[in-house]
Amino acid sequence: MATPQDSSEAPYLLPPDAKDWEGRGIPDFVYEQKELAPTGVQWPQLAPGTPPLSRFDSALCSAWRQRMELGLFRYHLGDLQTRTLPGVVGLVAQLNVERGVQRRCPQNIQSVRQAFDPEQFNFNKIRPGEVLFRLCRQPNRPQQEDVLVVINVSPLERGHVLLVPEPAQGLPQRLRPGALRAGLEAVLLSSHPGFRVGFNSLGGLASVNHLHLHGYYLAHRLPVEGAPSEPLDPGGRLHLLQGLPAPGFLFYIDGVGSDLEALVSRVCRATDYLTDHEIAHNLFVTRGAPPGKTFPSSELTGVRVILWARKSSFGIKEGEAFNVALCELAGHLPVKTPKHFSSLTEAAALALIRGCLLPPAQAEEVRTALVALAAQEEP
């Protein structure tokens, strides 16, 4: 399956000369709830091919591709060397040398709760042409936030964007309900099973302290889509993801409307607890199988949200094959050098990932706290 490429969504493109963007308003991508598709998106079972693109995929991919052609990224992203590491897990390694060398240096961050600093780089300082469009849900909700879809100038993969809610407010990198809702709805707007959304907290390798989520296409299955899990509360609202590459807390929906709103509240209560207790975390949103005894080949019947509590880590770690953040915990490993790419084994990758997790006693404290939060919900 290829990453979506084609589109005729001209309203989301820049003028032929990127300088002409100055002064143009940001285009709106207006959508309704009926476009959110919690089911019916699957990996192809036979010959590889691209699924029919949704309107959202077409708009995002055409605008993203044009920005690449205009040179608005730090490097040109071609087809990345990709291999599935031999072993039982199915880790997907990709060689992305340019991202390792040319990405922006992380900010000086010392706390998961660090305040926003307008003097540091933030998304109010990007070039106008880096903005693709604004997500606009119709009808508008009360206090609905504007969410800009912006290119990541150091992309992991084609279509790599940032979802930035209300950038003018100067919100720190702490997950908020409006941001998570936008990320979930972006996944539900896509007809590509490989479009994922994620969040890195401060201390969880977020490099910019300005609220944002990542969204990108990866045309490969990942272990977390169907890894087995066990329920942690009687209501089935919180599960423990048991499969590798790392245990995490699993939330799941197979509907929209009130189900989605309940999930947003549930997840944000958990991330608020982690932030308030200075515990770094990563979050990953993907099409996936329902909780239970499932496997990587299971059908994608809904959306999985996986939350990992982890050791705080500030700054990029030199000399390692990859840094552990949202995509690595999910089984997608952007590798920095050809030497690491050719020699990396499943065992070595898992050891690097496990080294970033909380020690057992602290992990158990977090588990107990999140189960207690789930128990407080209305039945």
pLDDT tens-digit readout, 343-366: 999 999 999 999 999 999 999 999
Task: Name the pLDDT band for 9 (thresholds 50, 70, 90).
Answer: very low
Angstrom distance (rounded) from CA 31 to CA 140: 10
Listed in sequence order, the residues at least 6 apart from 17 whose beta carbon sits closer than 8 Å to its beta carbon are: none
Residue of 252, 279, 194 whose CA lies nearest to 3: 194
* The two three-digit tokens of residue 329, written as one number: 């915990």
Task: Check whether 63 has a pLDDT greater than 60.
Answer: yes
Q: Indicate which residues carry an active-site annotation.
A: 212
246, 363 in Cβ contact below 8 A? Answer: no
Q: How many CB atoms lie within 10 A of CB 81?
A: 14
Does the domain made of 10-375 have the CATH classification 3.10.20.740?
A: no
- Provide the whole-model pTM: 0.93
Angstrom distance (rounded) from CA 34 to CA 252: 20
212, 354 in Cβ contact below 8 A? Answer: no
pLDDT of residue 13: 60
Listed in sequence order, the residues at least 6 apart from 109 whose beta carbon sits closer than 8 Å to its beta carbon are: 202, 203, 206, 209, 314
pLDDT of residue 231: 96
**Mean pLDDT within 120-127:** 95
pLDDT of residue 163: 98
Angstrom distance (rounded) from CA 302 to CA 306: 13
154, 73 in Cβ contact below 8 A? Answer: yes
Q: What is the number of H-type helices and E-type strands within the chain?
A: 8, 14
Angstrom distance (rounded) from CA 84 to CA 374: 36
Task: Determine the distance from the C-alpha atom of residue 115 to the mean position of all C-alpha atoms in its chain, rounded to a whole number.
Answer: 22
Using CA atoms, how far residue 267 sits from 38, 111, 178, 211, 245, in Å, is: 18, 21, 12, 16, 21
Task: Check whether 12 has a pLDDT greater than 80.
Answer: no
Angstrom distance (rounded) from CA 339 to CA 325: 21
